[in-house]
Structure 1
């Protein structure tokens, strides 16, 4: 007996064919092929609700192509979904400073919410010596 997953939308009885995943850190919603198993923080959607999907202002929706061969999600589909989530989570590339352009005090290496880890652009330096300290 096969268990058909249903759309996560309230009162919808249609079979799910897509999985919606949110990447909150990047304000991105990724809509891809139905995941192989139910994830607690993902939402299964039917074709109608997936087509009508909108995101809040400032969010981006990434829609992955889905094959309609009827064979269910394959490993390539799941890898494409994982790659799209990783790509959405990657910080944007920074342009290289041109010669003669002033360089900032440090380079951001990690960001978690409003906190940043900054690596100094300079080599190891001793703190300045204060005659009174």
Structure 2
């Protein structure tokens, strides 16, 4: 198996440089840099197919910035911070989370409700 991932488009043999994901609830297609690993519900695209990408009527396409090359120090620091954040235990439902309160959870997603400001009488 080749270590280079190919474009997901039929008959395209170009190397993939972008990953396309969908957020169906928001009618949004997100095109960003190639994901670090293959996801079953994502599509890897070459530069040509990524450039020509269109979305269905009523959908929005979000194109995240792509800068080819090795990761910078900032990228590595952001990755390390993300790993640290993921390793922290999740707060129990109902506990304050910053300026919001967690009211539900589904998998890795959380439902947050704005915290009501304290009003003195």
After TM superposition, what 4+ stretches of structure 1 lie above 6 angstroms from structure 2? none
Query: Over aligned residue pairs, what C-alpha RMSD do you find?
Result: 2.7
Structure of higher CA gyration radius: 1
Query: In the alignment, what sits opposite 1:44?
Result: 44
C-alpha displacement of 1:72: 6.4
Residues 72 and 20 of structure 1, relative CA distance in 2, 3 Å threshold: farther
Query: In the alignment, what sits opposite 1:12?
Result: 12
C-alpha displacement of 1:65: 0.4
Q: Which runs of 5+ in 1 are unaligned?
A: 80-108, 110-133
Distance (Å, rounded) in 2 between the aligned partners of 1:27 and 1:19: 17
The within-5 A match list for 1:25-104 is: 25-69=25-69, 71=70, 76=78
| TM-score of the superposed pair, with normalisation by structure 2 | 0.58
C-alpha displacement of 1:68: 1.6
Q: Which runs of 5+ in 2 are unaligned?
A: 83-102, 104-121
Residues 38 and 25 of structure 1, relative CA distance in 2, 3 Å threshold: same
Distance (Å, rounded) in 1 between the aligned partners of 2:2 and 2:23: 31
